[in-house]
Every structure is written in C-alpha cells, then in structure tokens.
C-alpha cells in the first residue's frame, strides 16, 4: 500500500535515528506547510540547508543592484545602514564608490533593498522553518571584493547564531540569494553538512597574517576533516540554512566583485537571552562599542536592544520579539 509523503518522511527519519544515532525529531526543524517536498525536508533535517534554484527573479536582483550602486555613489542616505569596507581596501582613501564597499548591513530602512525580505516566494519557504509569525532580523548585501593578495576577502568558518541573542535556534533561518553566478573562483559559500546538529561553538578573530575584517569571527575548533560542500549558484538561486550550520566562504580570485543579498528571519515567538558569561559575550561587547561609536548610544542600551531596534515584522503578528 502506497504511503503518503508525510508518512514516508517519518519512516526515513526514524531510519536515520537508528542508523546514525542522531536525535532527530520529525518536526524539529521544519513545519509541513505543503511547500517543501519530503526530500527537501529530509535534506534540511540531515544537512542543515536546502538550495532553491531561480527563486528570485532577475528583475528583482537588478533592482537591488541599482539601489546598491546608488548608496555607493552617496545618492541616497539610509538611516541605520552600516557600510563596511575590506580591511585592506579601507587603508586607501582614493578608492571610492562600489569598489570601496564590501558589505551593506542593516538595510531595513531602505524600501528598495528591504523588498527582498518581503518577497512572497521567499516567505513561503521561510514559514516552513519559523512558523507563521516572521521577523526579519538581520539584513546584508555582500559585495565580496577581488582579493588583494592578503586573503582578506575570505570569511572564516562560523555559525550565525554566535551573533544572535535570541532563541530557539531551530526557529531561525537565513535566506541567501546569489545576485550573479557564484562559484569557487569568486568565493562561494562553503558549508559543513550536518554541523547544525551540534552546539554553538566558541568564536573569535582568526589569526590570519593579512588581517581580518571587522566582526568576522570564526569557530575556534571544528573538525578539519568534516566533509565540505561548495555551494555554486546561479543568479537568483537561494540557499536557506540553519543558524548553527558551520559555513564560510573562500577568497575571490577573480577581478570582479561577487554579490549576494541575505536576510536572517526568526519567529516572532522567539525570546531574547542574556549572553553575559557565555561564548557570545565577546561579540556582544563589540556590537555595543560599535553602537556607541556610530549612533552615540550609551551603555544602558543592551546587546538585545540593538537587535530589537533592527527587527521588522514581515508576516503575521509580533508576539514576543
């Protein structure tokens, strides 16, 4: 007798429990919204990420690119936007425009860029991980520069949960969309499949000879022999991944910039935690120092406050966050 898809998934996950000794619950990581196939649910349960081809249209991506260029040319000023430059490029004042900017962070006040976070075709997938009440918590447009020879264009292997003072981790997901062809040559994402089954590891700046970009913390210890997957993607392809998944990116060895846009979503049912005395205390102190310097806030503003100010409801009700 033919089993329904959901029943087949239960059987497979029960088999995974027995064969790998993994503590995998049927609905630990995903909800059955009729969007993810059984195979996609299994892949996320087992690996911590899924790749959706051509999820975002070329028209939308071109619109994001044009707004990025306007910001780089200083034609528009966005409140709260953090504009970042590579540690080696930042030493040269004559570098201007798009070539000077390696990342835009916190673009929630820019309606053209924030449109990415509200795209229905993305939210229908996000709901499978967060549930119906969805907050857009962290926004980035990454413009990975050609490496200067110092290897600073790479991003150390890390877990995104290191930066987040909210839980539970299983109700957080990142959507990361390639704005052009992304491959090993220009520094595609590298992931360690299954690493989301572990715990949050200690992070700090890696000791790299060429220097490290601001807030590019890396995992202190992870298995160097753990299997890796290089996520080569076409324009519009989107990867959704768990905040405990260990990932990073290699050097951009081409002459062009490699662009991607991303948003971290969380269920509005999530709650804030105190990270004092934990492995996250170092990033908490760094963020508060940056907030004091950039926005003039005093030390009564907590790490949690900096996130609450940036979060935006994109679907459902704002229940807790």
- 46-56, pLDDT tens digit by residue? 999 999 999 99
Q: What integer pLDDT is reported at residue 86 of this predicted model?
A: 64
Position 98 in a domain: yes
Distance of CA 139 to the CA centre of its chain: 8
Q: What integer pLDDT is reported at residue 240 of this predicted model?
A: 98
Q: Is the predicted pLDDT of residue 27 greater than 90, yes or no?
A: no
DSSP 146: P
Mention every residue, 6+ apart, whose C-beta is less than 8 A from residue 225. Answer: none
How many helices (H) and strands (E) in the chain?
7, 16
Give the span between the Cα atoms of 158 and 222, in whole angstroms: 10
H-helix segments, 118-214: 120-130
Q: Which of 141, 215, 228 is nearest to 184 (CA)?
A: 228
Position 25 in a domain: no
Whichever domain contains 293, its CATH number is: 2.60.120.620
Position 20 in a domain: no
Give the span between the Cα atoms of 172 and 130, in whole angstroms: 6
Q: What integer pLDDT is reported at residue 277 of this predicted model?
A: 95
State which of 86-90, 154-158, 183-187, 285-289 shows the largest mean pLDDT.
183-187
Q: What integer pLDDT is reported at residue 15 of this predicted model?
A: 47
Position 253 in a domain: yes
Position 232 in a domain: yes
Q: Is the predicted pLDDT of residue 12 greater than 60, yes or no?
A: no
Q: Which H helix or E strand runs over 127?
A: helix 120-130
Give the span between the Cα atoms of 262 and 188, in whole angstroms: 14
Position 303 in a domain: yes
**What are the pLDDT digits (tens) for 173-232?**
999 999 999 999 999 999 999 999 999 999 987 765 555 556 778 887 777 788 999 999
Whose tokens are 């004042």? That residue is 93
Mean pLDDT of 91-116: 81
**What are the pLDDT digits (tens) for 114-155?**
999 999 999 999 999 999 999 999 999 999 888 777 666 677
Q: Is the predicted pLDDT of residue 21 greater than 80, yes or no?
A: no
DSSP 118: G
Q: What integer pLDDT is reported at residue 299 of this predicted model?
A: 72
Q: What integer pLDDT is reported at residue 94 of this predicted model?
A: 43
Classify strands 258-267 and 166-167 as parallel, antiparallel or unpaired.
unpaired
Number of domains within the chain:
1
Q: What integer pLDDT is reported at residue 178 of this predicted model?
A: 98
Beginning with the edge strand found earlier in the chain, give each strand of the sheet holding 229-231 in spatial order. 155-158, 247-249, 189-191, 229-231
Q: What integer pLDDT is reported at residue 176 of this predicted model?
A: 98
DSSP 194: T
Q: What angle do CA 196, 314, 143 make, to 5 degrees?
A: 65
Q: What integer pLDDT is reported at residue 208 of this predicted model?
A: 53
Q: Which tokens sit at 157?
A: 């292997």
Position 133 in a domain: yes
Residue 164 near residue 172 (C-beta atoms within 8 A): yes
Classify strands 134-144 and 312-315 as parallel, antiparallel or unpaired.
antiparallel
Residue 51 near residue 239 (C-beta atoms within 8 A): yes
Q: Which of 315, 304, 294, 318 is nearest to 82 (CA)?
A: 294
Q: Is the predicted pLDDT of residue 23 greater than 60, yes or no?
A: no
Mean pLDDT of the chain: 86
Mean pLDDT of 157-167: 95
pLDDT-derived band at 2, boundaries 50, 70, 90: very low
Mean pLDDT of 54-78: 95
Q: What integer pLDDT is reported at residue 291 of this predicted model?
A: 75
Residues of the chain with pLDDT > 90, as a percent, come to 61
Mean pLDDT of 296-313: 86
Position 300 in a domain: yes
State which of 12-16, 21-25, 144-148, 180-184 shows the largest mean pLDDT.
180-184
Classify strands 229-231 and 49-52 as parallel, antiparallel or unpaired.
unpaired
Mean pLDDT of 293-300: 70
Q: Which residue range(s) make up the domain with 139?
A: 1-14+33-315
């Amino acid at each position: 007798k033919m089993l329904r898809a959901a029943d087949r998934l239960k059987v497979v996950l029960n088999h995974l429990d027995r064969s790998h000794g993994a503590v995998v619950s049927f609905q630990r990581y995903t909800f059955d919204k009729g969007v993810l196939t059984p195979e996609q649910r299994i892949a996320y349960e087992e690996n911590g990420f899924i790749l959706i081809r051509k999820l975002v249209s070329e028209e939308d991506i071109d619109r994001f690119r044009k707004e990025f260029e306007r910001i780089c040319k200083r034609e528009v000023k966005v409140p709260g936007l953090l504009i970042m430059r590579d540690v080696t490029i930042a030493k040269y004042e004559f570098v201007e425009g798009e070539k000077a900017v390696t990342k835009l962070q916190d673009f929630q006040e820019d309606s053209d860029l924030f449109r990415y976070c509200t795209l229905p075709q993305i939210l229908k997938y996000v709901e499978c991980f967060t549930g119906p009440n969805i907050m857009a918590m962290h926004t980035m447009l990454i413009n990975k520069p050609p490496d200067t020879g110092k290897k600073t264009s790479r991003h150390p292997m890390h877990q995104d949960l290191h930066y987040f003072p909210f839980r539970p981790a299983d109700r957080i997901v990142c959507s990361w969309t390639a704005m052009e062809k992304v491959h090993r040559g220009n520094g595609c994402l590298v992931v360690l499949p299954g690493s989301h089954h572990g715990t949050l590891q200690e992070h700090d700046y890696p000791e790299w000879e060429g220097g490290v970009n601001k807030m590019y913390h890396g995992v202190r210890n992870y298995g160097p022999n753990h299997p890796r997957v290089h996520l080569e993607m076409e324009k519009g392809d989107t990867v959704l991944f768990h905040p405990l998944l260990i990932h990073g990116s290699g050097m951009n060895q081409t002459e062009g910039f490699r662009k991607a846009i991303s948003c971290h979503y969380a269920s509005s049912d999530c709650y804030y935690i105190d990270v004092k005395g934990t492995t996250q205390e170092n990033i908490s102190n760094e963020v508060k120092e940056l907030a004091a310097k950039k926005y003039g806030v005093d030390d009564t503003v907590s790490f949690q406050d900096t996130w609450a100010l940036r979060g935006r409801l994109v679907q459902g009700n704002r229940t807790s966050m």
